[in-house]
């Protein structure tokens, strides 16, 4: 008898809930057999034609994504096009076909594998995600060499949840959206292109689910909770009813967005919180606006650097578009956070311990051209909207002073050249390193605002790799040690008359809202789709009770105690969607 109510956890990739039967997708290529060929030049020609056909397919997919998003977000497929233009790979494959006198698909696969083996992809989550996209191109080329067409989704007519080891971004873009209501994969991460496309198409998705295929069969009823990163296989009656109710409530939220968008996030006793949105791509601005966010509290710019460092004009075009789209509200543009789980295409940026190594400002304080080009683009965009600058991973006073010096020099150059920019542009830092939180009062004298990055602050405080599923049970953003660092940061910022926000994922958790308000935060920046729910929780609270809740949480000594206490608060008030049992 098949085990019921098997609960698996993964990475929440695209919010929403889907309760449908599973359809398993198996890998298409499998073992590639090698054999001798007699007409070598014909084999080389077959390879050339396959590469060109693949290029045309990717351009078609890119154009399709542009139709449903914006001119900039679809650029994530430029990396695949660049791969096809890699002269070394193309020429080496042709030479190997001529030398070995073997079939093109076999030689191409072996050539790519040999070149890839020289790169230590395990050093970076981002690089592993990126390599998955290159594997997508390789598979497409091989199919085209064989003369096969992509029939992966033919015949999927009934509503279902797709389950697979991995789905590439290009195949995600081809999903029949009227049928596919959810996606779950064993592979993938927060930075993968597949995740980005899932969000663009508003398909609930969970990625990075270990042992998914071990426990799932086609025809199983599965629950995909893309908001919390939970997959339930063959749920029992109680769990099914709970999620049916949660799905209904989620749909009520999304269907009622028009009514909620203009309602302020104000507590019962009249205290209004700034509630903005985190985005990774320009396409998400529309979602932020539709869900009632006021401004963009964090614009992650890493996607622009996926194919190498972009030019000033390329960046300006994107920043200007975003500033005008969100205006008159503000947008906080974070300078590129290279390293850790976000890496440039250049593998020389790899570190043995990337989260503690050459990352973010540590990179561009040495590679100043990267920073200066981005600052020029951000400053120029500030002439077209309400733009703020934020620096990530600042851990020492000397660093922010150096960054401000580079910014001032860049401003002087623009002024000298007669280029317009906001001369009073606000500059802040992400507080995501314990040293910055402890010395927050000193940092507050140097900047105009703080935005607390709870993901990294938790990771560094608890010595817990946030991307490692083996220690996921240790990664607790509501740990009292983390809360005390947040409190110290808020108090220090307010003592110097600067505002303090939080842009980590903790802000999107309804269970955390009372304590975050009680700690004195001025702003929460959350996932766009979380805005209505967070707003609803805020409107059920008073600041007086939030202060009491925060004081009690700060006095506790374990994350389990804090989580249990906060869950009881929300249950008592009957707000939020955190009423699903904690073991799920």
- Predicted TM-score (pTM) of the model is 0.75
Residue 579 assigned to a binding site: no
Residue 466 assigned to a binding site: yes
Taking the C-alpha atoms of residue 6 and residue 17, their distance in angstroms, rounded to an integer, is 17
Alpha-carbon distance values, 550 to 155, 484, 507, 543, 572 (Å):
54, 10, 15, 10, 17
What fold, for 40-146? Enzyme I; Chain A, domain 2 (1.10.274)
Residue 300 assigned to a binding site: yes
In which band, very low, low, confident or very high, does the pLDDT at 319 lie, cut at 50, 70 and 90?
Answer: very high
For the stretch 95-130, pLDDT in tens is 999 999 999 999 998 888 777 665 544 444 444 445
Residue 265, C-beta contacts closer than 8 angstroms, at least 6 positions apart:
272, 273, 274, 275, 534, 535, 538, 539
Residue 455 assigned to a binding site: yes
Taking the CA atoms of 197, 201, 206 and 211 in sequence, report the sign of the dihedral they define: negative
In which band, very low, low, confident or very high, does the pLDDT at 258 lie, cut at 50, 70 and 90?
Answer: low
Helix (H, G, I), strand (E, B) or coil at 260: helix
Domain 6-27+153-253 shares a fold with domain 268-573:
no
Above pLDDT 70, what percent of the chain? 84
Taking the C-alpha atoms of residue 286 and residue 160, their distance in angstroms, rounded to an integer, is 27
Give the CA angle between residues 339, 345, 350 to the nearest 5°. Answer: 40
Over the chain, what is the mean pLDDT?
85
Instruction: Please give the positions annotated as active site.
Output: 193, 503
- CA-only gyration radius of the chain, Å: 25
For the stretch 477-531, pLDDT in tens is 999 999 999 999 999 999 999 999 999 889 988 899 999 999 999 999 998 878 8
Residue 266, C-beta contacts closer than 8 angstroms, at least 6 positions apart:
272, 273, 538, 539
Residue 123 assigned to a binding site: no
For the stretch 356-405, pLDDT in tens is 665 677 777 777 888 999 999 999 999 999 999 999 999 999 999 999 99
Q: Mark 275-308 as b/e (b = at least 16 C-beta within 10 Å).
A: bbbbbbbbbbbebbbbbbbbbbbbbbbbbbbbbe
Boundaries of every domain in the chain: 6-27+153-253, 40-146, 268-573
Stronger pLDDT, 19 or 353, i.e. the higher one: 19
Residue 349 has pLDDT above 60, yes or no: no
For the stretch 180-235, pLDDT in tens is 999 999 887 765 667 767 876 788 999 989 889 889 988 999 999 998 899 999 99
Write the class of the CATH domain 6-27+153-253: alpha beta
Residue 339 has pLDDT above 70, yes or no: no
Residue 149, C-beta contacts closer than 8 angstroms, at least 6 positions apart:
143
Nearest to 453 by CA among 482, 480, 491: 482
- What CATH number does the domain located at 268-573 have? 3.20.20.60
For the stretch 520-575, pLDDT in tens is 999 999 988 788 889 989 999 999 999 999 999 999 999 999 999 999 988 887 66
């Amino acid at each position: 008898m098949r085990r019921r109510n098997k609960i698996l956890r993964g990475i929440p990739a695209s919010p929403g809930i889907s309760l449908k039967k599973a359809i398993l997708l198996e890998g298409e290529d499998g073992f590639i057999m090698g054999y001798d060929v007699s007409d070598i030049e014909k084999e080389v020609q077959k390879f050339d034609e396959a590469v060109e056909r693949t290029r045309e397919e990717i351009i078609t997919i890119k154009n399709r994504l542009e139709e449903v998003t914006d001119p900039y977000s679809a650029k994530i497929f430029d990396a695949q096009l660049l791969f096809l233009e890699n002269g070394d790979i193309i020429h080496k494959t042709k030479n190997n076909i001529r030398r070995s006198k073997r079939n093109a698909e076999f030689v191409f696969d072996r050539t790519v594998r040999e070149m890839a083996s020289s790169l230590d992809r395990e050093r970076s989550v981002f690089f592993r995600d990126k390599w998955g996209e290159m594997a997508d191109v390789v598979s497409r080329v091989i199919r085209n060499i064989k003369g096969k067409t992509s029939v992966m989704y033919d015949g999927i007519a009934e509503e279902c949840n797709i389950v697979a080891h991995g789905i590439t971004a290009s195949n995600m873009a081809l999903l029949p959206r009227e049928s596919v209501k959810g996606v779950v994969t064993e592979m993938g991460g927060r930075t993968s292109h597949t995740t980005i496309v899932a969000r663009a198409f508003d398909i609930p998705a969970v990625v990075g689910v270990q042992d998914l295929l071990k426990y799932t069969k086609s025809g199983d009823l599965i629950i995909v909770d893309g908001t919390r990163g939970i997959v339930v296989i063959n749920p029992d009656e109680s769990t099914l009813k709970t999620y049916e109710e949660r799905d209904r409530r989620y749909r009520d939220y999304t269907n009622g967005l028009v009514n909620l968008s203009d309602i302020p996030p104000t507590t019962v006793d009249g205290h209004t919180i700034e509630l903005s949105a985190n985005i990774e791509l320009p396409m998400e601005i529309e979602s932020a606006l539709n869900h009632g966010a006021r401004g963009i509290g964090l614009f992650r710019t890493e996607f622009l650097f996926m194919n190498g460092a972009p030019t000033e004009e390329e960046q300006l075009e994107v920043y200007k578009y975003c500033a005008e789209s969100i205006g008159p509200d503000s947008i906080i543009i974070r300078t590129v956070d290279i390293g850790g789980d976000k890496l440039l295409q250049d593998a020389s940026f790899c570190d043995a311990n990337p989260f503690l190594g050459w990352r973010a400002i540590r990179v561009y304080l040495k590679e100043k051209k990267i920073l200066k080009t981005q600052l020029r683009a951000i400053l120029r965009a500030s002439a077209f909207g309400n733009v703020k600058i934020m620096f990530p991973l600042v851990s020492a006073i000397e660093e922010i002073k150096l960054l401000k010096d580079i910014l001032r020099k860049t401003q002087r150059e623009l002024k000298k050249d007669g280029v317009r920019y906001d001369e009073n542009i606000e500059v802040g830092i992400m507080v995501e390193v314990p040293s910055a939180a402890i010395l927050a009062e000193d940092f507050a004298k140097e900047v105009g605002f703080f935005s607390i990055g709870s993901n990294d602050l938790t990771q560094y405080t608890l010595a817990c790799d946030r991307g490692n599923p083996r220690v996921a049970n240790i990664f607790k953003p509501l740990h009292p040690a983390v809360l005390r660092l947040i409190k110290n940061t808020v108090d220090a910022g307010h003592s110097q008359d600067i505002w303090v926000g939080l842009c980590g994922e903790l802000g999107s958790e309804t269970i955390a809202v009372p304590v975050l308000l009680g700690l004195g935060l001025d702003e929460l920046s959350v996932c766009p789709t979380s805005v209505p729910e967070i707003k609803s929780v805020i409107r059920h609270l008073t600041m007086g009770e939030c202060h009491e809740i925060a004081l009690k949480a700060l006095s506790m000594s374990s994350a389990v105690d804090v989580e249990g206490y906060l869950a009881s608060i929300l249950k008592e008030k009957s707000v939020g969607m955190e009423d699903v049992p904690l073991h799920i």
